[in-house]
Structure 1
Amino acid sequence: MDKDLDFTGRTILVTGSGRNIGRAIILEFAARGANVIINARSNRDEAESVRQDAEGLGARALVVMGEAGEHEVIAEIKARAEAAFGRLDIYVSNAARRLSKSFFDTTEEEWTYHLNQQLTASWRLAKAFTPAMCEAGYGRVIHMNGPDGYFGGWTRVPHSTAKGGLRALTKSLAGGLGEFGVTVNDINPGVSNTIRDASTHPQFHVPGHAETVAAAIPIRRATKVEEVAFACAFLCSPRAAAITGSIIHVDGGRDMLG
């Protein structure tokens, strides 16, 4: 049965993969034989560290730096993927930056930036890569979502709005791409064991907060990034070909979202 999770010959891009969930996904697929493309906004040292780890698992790996939603970055990813591997089979739209500001303090520039970085970026990735997937008769698109996309967030209105729009984009793309063998799904990691910057997640730097949050989760702990990565592998496997337009909640039962 292991052959169903063997991605030898497939190529995957994960945006925002210098650390945390993105890094775990890269290494999950590298261990399963895929060619991997690592993307990070600015920290090249982190990205190169992921590349070295992926190559240590036997994968062929590329690093492309820059904002994942920018036209020139997507063009570079596309050109390098085609030159090195032929085409892209899978991408995970994972890059996201969160702000911590009330609605009244959020600026027009911040609104535009966060929508572009997450929602518009995912639109552009689809425009760039799904045509070749359709032609090949196979493709997997995963959008990394989260509770903010369902519940909103007063201190992160642009981010929450982008995530809500991402859910609609997932369903829209799934409805049109399915006949070509391309599936599009969301993953909701809930609270996970990631590195969080104090500027974007100040609450997690308050003593005792993480423990309080964990106590309210049915499994009594945060989700492991490796668990999210395995959910990605499952969704990209041949045996998940009938799952599209869906949400996989890897959140320990925290939100019980339908």
Structure 2
Amino acid sequence: MIELADKVAIVTGGSRGIGSAISTELAKSGVKVVVNYHSDVESAKKVVAEVKAAGGEAIAVQADVSNSEDVLSLIEQTINHFGQLDILVNNAGITKDKTFRKLSQDDWHQVINVNLNSVYNTISSALPHLLESDAGRIINISSIIGQTGGFGQTNYSAAKAGLIGYTKSLALELARKQVTVNAVCPGFIETEMVQEMPDKVREQIIASVPVQRLGQANEIARSVLFLCRDGEYITGQQLNINGGLYM
């Protein structure tokens, strides 16, 4: 088990949903958290306030992770403020769901840029600092859709599947450096996106899940905490948290 007190983590897309849950869960274990956000500054400030109220330490940093210059600034601000970086959680993501015949080039490129290219940006900038840590952790939030595919989600499933392959290859490269690289693949989680679905669609999804319920964001967050704290001998893996929907 790694002692996480005073370790420093960046959580991209850390202001809402799963990202917010990951930020607060890590902070409970003493991790100093950089809550990255793209545009929702109020949500980011709320997460920081919750962390501080619980006795933790956090800052909010705006950056479009699909933009390499923004990412450089994100890493620089992290190092300037906390002096180190030990954990990188690549959680930022968007959806633009359409059947392929209706999918525009812009729909394709936006999803690939935010969900996949951003991970190249963050890791390439963060890696020199992670290599200096005695507990270097990279955790990429993929999706069950990257494993099974999804109707109207060719762009999203391509990005999330690519993230799984990226995770395995990078894990091979960094294993000797004692930096672990893993993917967490959530199933259907009760976030704003799922809550906005029509009731009938949501009911159909729940009926298809063997445990007969949606997942909770804090269940994903606890898996990230596990990989950070107890995952010294776990690398290149997909941690599937989906209620048995994909086995």
Same fold (TM over 0.5): yes
Identify the residue that residue 201 of structure 2 maps to in structure 1: 209
Kindly report which structure 2 residues correspond to 1:235-246, keeping only aligned pairs within 5 A, or say none: 235-237=227-229, 239-246=230-237
Kindly report which structure 2 residues correspond to 1:165-244, keeping only aligned pairs within 5 A, or say none: 165-196=162-193, 205-237=197-229, 239-244=230-235
Match of 1:186, SS?
A: strand
1:125-181 superposed Cα distances (whole Å, 9 cap, x missing partner): 111112222233431011111122112234121111111111111011100001111
Opposite residue 219 of structure 1, the aligned amino acid is V
Opposite residue 160 of structure 2, the aligned amino acid is K
> Could you tell me the TM-score, scaled by structure 2's length?
0.95
Structure 2: gaps (5+ residues): none
Is 1:157 the equivalent of 2:154? yes
* Cα shift at 1:207: 2.3
Identify the residue that residue 53 of structure 1 maps to in structure 2: 50
Identify the residue that residue 20 of structure 2 maps to in structure 1: 23
Identify the residue that residue 89 of structure 2 maps to in structure 1: 92
Relative distance call for 1:252 and 1:153 in structure 2 (3 A) is closer
Tell me how far apart the structure 1 counterparts of residues 54 and 106 of structure 2 sit (CA, whole Å). 41
Identity %: 30
Identify the residue that residue 128 of structure 1 maps to in structure 2: 125
> Could you tell me the TM-score, scaled by structure 1's length?
0.91
Contact 1:38 / 1:63 at 8 angstroms: preserved in 2? yes
Contact 1:42 / 1:65 at 8 angstroms: preserved in 2? yes
Tell me how far apart the structure 1 counterparts of residues 81 and 128 of structure 2 sit (CA, whole Å). 19
Structure 1: gaps (5+ residues): none
Identify the residue that residue 8 of structure 2 maps to in structure 1: 11
Identify the residue that residue 138 of structure 1 maps to in structure 2: 135
Tell me how far apart the structure 1 counterparts of residues 132 and 23 of structure 2 sit (CA, whole Å). 25
Comparing 75-84 and 18-27, the one that deviates more: 75-84
Give aligned pairs, total: 247
RMSD over equivalenced CA pairs, Å: 1.6
Identify the residue that residue 242 of structure 2 maps to in structure 1: 251
